[in-house]
């Protein structure tokens, strides 16, 4: 079948331009195979990364039809099925662009320096400091090793980093790839610096609290590492060790859960006062709420009373079951 490949071409400090290539392809052809043919048969100047025939390294990550994926894993048939509605009656089209959240070097090749730098920030190496070095190796039971199976599948392809909304607005956030690796370190029975790690990952919006839980990282991960879930595991470990006085981020999570347990949904009158005002301890925080409170009053959107939702007892029971399971 005949397919149009629209590729975003770009050089540093230049505006991107969309270039169209026409290929006769089979449904089973991968996107990478099609790009190879474009480069070999039509345009040798097209730039993209690949190393997939040497190892599973995720070097051919790019945005295919608006989402980050591995070009060697996605085939033409899969892509056309997903865009068939928009292509109805026209020549089938597949659009390819470079990864997001990283500057473009040329065409589909991006500078991944920030990706690797942020990975280093979580100290992604098992620490055995303070342990006596054994004669052969540090042993793990099968159960201990199984805790690393999911996070150990990460191939550092950059797909989750590319789609992370938090990184787009907060350059200090280390990213889902780094925090998934951080969870792999914390879950490793051989590591001796778990408490120090959790303190580091708890710092402001640079660590776990910078995640906006948009789910895109989970959706695009080709290896089912589920970075957002791993960030959730780290958050829970931190919450288990901290009280509401530790930080606003900690209070936000704990107050939300407590209020839902109490009334089935959030009592907004208490939420801001408890989180921002620190249970009336933070005068500056309370004063910062005044302008918003006045605007809500003027617009009739400030809740003057609170009625618990129906099924509050069931909600409370579910939360307590989850909490008991986690503990």
**Distance in angstroms (rounded) separating the CA atoms of residues 307 and 42:** 67
What are the structural domains, with CATH classification, of the chain?
2-106 (3.10.20.30), 111-241 (1.10.1060.10), 248-326 (no CATH)
**Residues 158/222, Cβ–Cβ less than 8 Å:** no
- Residues of the chain above pLDDT 70, percent: 94
Residue 304 DSSP symbol: S
**Residues 180/227, Cβ–Cβ less than 8 Å:** yes
- pLDDT tens digits, residue range 76-125? 999 999 877 555 557 899 999 999 999 999 999 999 999 999 999 999 99
Res 260: pLDDT? 95
Please, what is the Cα angle at 40 between 35 and 44, to 5 degrees?
Answer: 90
**Distance in angstroms (rounded) separating the CA atoms of residues 92 and 100:** 24
- Strand (E) or helix (H) holding 217: helix 216-220
Q: Which residue has the tokens 């910078």?
A: 210
Res 100: pLDDT? 97
Q: Which residues in the chain show pLDDT less than 70?
A: 53-58, 85-89, 130-131, 326-327
Alpha carbon 141 to its chain's center: 30
Res 88: pLDDT? 53
Alpha carbon 154 to its chain's center: 13
**Residues 280/286, Cβ–Cβ less than 8 Å:** yes
**Distance in angstroms (rounded) separating the CA atoms of residues 34 and 3:** 10
**Distance in angstroms (rounded) separating the CA atoms of residues 154 and 160:** 11
Pairing between strand 93-97 and 2-9? parallel
Res 127: pLDDT? 87
Res 58: pLDDT? 64
Res 323: pLDDT? 82
- The reported pTM is 0.88
């Amino acid at each position: 079948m005949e397919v149009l490949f629209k590729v975003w071409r770009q050089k540093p400090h230049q505006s991107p331009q969309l270039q169209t290539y026409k290929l006769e392809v089979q449904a089973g052809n991968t996107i990478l195979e099609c790009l190879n043919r474009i480069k070999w048969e039509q345009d040798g100047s097209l730039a993209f990364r690949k190393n997939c025939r040497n190892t599973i390294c995720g070097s051919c990550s790019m945005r295919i039809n608006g989402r980050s994926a591995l070009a060697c894993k996605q085939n033409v048939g899969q892509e056309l099925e997903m865009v068939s509605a928009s292509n109805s009656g026209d020549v089938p089209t597949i659009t390819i662009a470079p990864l997001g959240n990283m500057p473009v070097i040329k065409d589909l090749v991006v500078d991944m320096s920030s990706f690797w730098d942020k990975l280093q920030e979580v100290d992604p190496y098992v620490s055995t400091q303070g342990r006596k070095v054994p004669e052969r190796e540090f042993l793990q039971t099968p159960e201990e090793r199984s805790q690393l199976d999911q996070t150990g599948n990460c191939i550092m392809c950059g797909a989750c980093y590319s789609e992370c909304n938090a990184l787009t607005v907060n350059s200090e956030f280390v990213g889902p790839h780094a925090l998934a690796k951080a969870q792999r370190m914390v879950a490793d029975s051989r590591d001796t610096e778990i408490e120090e790690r959790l303190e580091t990952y708890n710092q402001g919006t640079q660590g776990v609290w910078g995640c906006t839980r948009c789910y895109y990282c989970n959706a695009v991960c080709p290896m089912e590492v589920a970075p957002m879930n791993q960030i959730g595991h780290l958050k829970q470990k931190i919450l288990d060790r901290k009280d509401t006085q530790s930080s606003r981020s900690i209070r936000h999570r704990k107050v939300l859960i407590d209020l839902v347990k109490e009334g089935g949904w959030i009592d907004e009158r208490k939420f801001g006062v408890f989180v921002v005002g620190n249970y009336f301890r933070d005068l500056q925080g309370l004063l910062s709420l005044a302008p918003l409170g006045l605007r809500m009053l003027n617009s009739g959107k400030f809740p003057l009373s609170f009625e618990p939702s129906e099924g509050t007892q069931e909600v409370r029971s579910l939360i307590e079951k989850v909490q008991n399971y986690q503990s």
